[in-house]
Amino acid sequence: MSSTEAHGDNAMVKVMLAVLGALTVLTIVLMVAARSLGGEGDGANDAVLRQALLERIAPVGRVRTEAPAEIVAVASVPKTGEQLVNEGACAACHAAGVGGAPATGDEAAWAERRELGLEALVASVINGKGTMPARGGSTYTDDEIALAVKYLAGLGDTDSAGSDAEPEETAASDSASTDTDAAAESGSAESMAGAATAAATMIPENVKATVDSVCVGCHISGVANAPKIGDKDAWGPRIEMGYDTLAQTVITGKGAMPARGASTLTDEELVLAVEYLANKE
- Residue pLDDT, tens place only, 141-175: 888 888 888 888 887 653 433 334 444 444 444 44
Closest CA to 88 of 165, 157, 177: 177
3-state secondary structure 89-145: CHHHHHCCCHHHCCCCCCHHHHHHHHCCCHHHHHHHHHHCECCECHHHHCCCCHHHH
- Per-residue pLDDT tens over the stretch 133-142: 787 777 888 8
- The helix (run of H) or strand (run of E) holding residue 14 is helix 2-38
Residue 254 DSSP SS3:
strand
Alpha-carbon span 129 to 171, nearest angstrom: 6
- Per-residue pLDDT tens over the stretch 70-118: 666 656 678 888 888 777 777 777 777 777 777 777 888 878 888 878 8
Cα dihedral 125/129/131/134 (nearest 10): 50
Alpha-carbon span 202 to 116, nearest angstrom: 46
Instruction: Please tell us whether the domain made up of 176-278 is placed in CATH 3.40.50.12160.
Output: no
Residue 36 has pLDDT above 50, yes or no: yes
Domain 81-173: give its CATH code: 1.10.760.10
Alpha-carbon span 72 to 56, nearest angstrom: 38
Domain ranges of the chain: 81-173, 176-278
Exposure string (b/e) for 29-45, b if CB count within 10 Å is 16 or more?
eeeeeeeeeeeeeeeee
pLDDT band for 190, please (50, 70, 90 cuts). very low
Residue 257 DSSP SS3:
strand
Residue 242 DSSP SS3:
strand
- Conformational region of residue 229, where left means phi above 0, alpha means psi within -120 to 50, and beta covers everything else: beta
pLDDT band for 127, please (50, 70, 90 cuts). confident
Average pLDDT along the chain: 74
- Fold agreement (81-173, 176-278): yes
